[in-house]
Amino acid sequence: MIFCHPDGFNGSELALDLTRVRAIIPSIQTLLAWARQTKIQVIFTRESHAPDLSDLTSSKRTRYANAGSPIGQRGKMGRFLVRGEPGVALIDELQPQPQEWQLDKPAHSCFVATDLDQKLRIAHITHLLIAGVTTECCVLATYRHASDLGYYCLLLEDCCAAFNPQDHDATIHILQSEGGVLGWVGNSPQLFESLSALSTKD
């Protein structure tokens, strides 16, 4: 959620409209409260790089620079996408509790150059609920990677967003294409209702 702060690189330097990415914050707060109540493991992730940019690939450096978002460039909240800078901190509205995992990742997928897969398998976690921003970038990359690793994934579309609503809608469409072979999509009210019904049956 580091892209949602008004003073962050996207808001101040790139002047992107943050309305849509900030609109999902209440839904994620509700999701967090529910997950904590039901003792589901919560994982926060941050796209970020080492201060010396040693974990930044040449291709990513070039892509971001060409897009007007040079990684390491100084902005209102420090160097863009550099670990330890204010601009990569989790926003105040979504802060982790001590038992919740925090993961810094140098790629769009949470599984690239991290120990997430190993930690999930050690904890015997097989099902993932995926939320965050942006839908077409880190959310989709993580979903597809997790799915290929064999995890059961559900993307919660009301807890994801993109700066451009067409990008969000296109991503949802892609995941639901070919009869759903690429993935599962739902929303948080459906999730809460379904699991509540299951617990009532028990």
Q: Could you write out the three-class secondary structure of 74-102?
A: EECCEECCECCCHHHCCCCCCCCCCCCEE
Q: What is the model's pLDDT at position 2?
A: 66
Superfamily the domain 2-201 falls into: Isochorismatase-like (3.40.50.850)
Average pLDDT, the chain: 94
Q: What is the model's pLDDT at position 202?
A: 58
Q: What is the model's pLDDT at position 10?
A: 81
Euclidean distance between CA atoms 82 and 34, whole angstroms:
31
Across the range 102-118, mean pLDDT stands at: 98
Encode burial over 148-160: b for 16+ CB neighbours within 10 A, e otherwise: eeebebbbbbbbb
Residue pair 158/27 in contact by the 8 Å Cβ criterion: yes
Across the range 50-64, mean pLDDT stands at: 98
Across the range 49-78, mean pLDDT stands at: 96
List the domain boundaries for the chain.
Answer: 2-201
Please give the backbone phi and psi of residue 49, each rounded to the nearest 5 degrees, phi first. -130, 160
pTM given for the model: 0.94
